Amino acid sequence: MDLQRLEGLVNVVGKQRLVLDLSCRKKEGKYAIVTDRWQKFSDVYLDKEVLDFLAKYADEFLVHGVDVEGKKLGIDEELVELLGEHSPIPVTYAGGVTVMDDLETIKAAGKGRVDVTVGSALDIFGGNLAYSEVVAWHKRNITVTNKA
Q: How far lies 67's CA from each of 3, 59, 72, 76, 126, in Å?
A: 26, 25, 11, 8, 21
Q: How far lies 107's CA from each of 7, 12, 113, in Å?
A: 32, 34, 7
With a cut of 90, say whether residue 99 has pLDDT above it.
yes
Domain boundaries, the chain: 12-146
- Region 117-135: mean pLDDT is 94
Looking at domain 12-146, its CATH class is: alpha beta
53-62: per-residue pLDDT in tens? 999 999 999 9
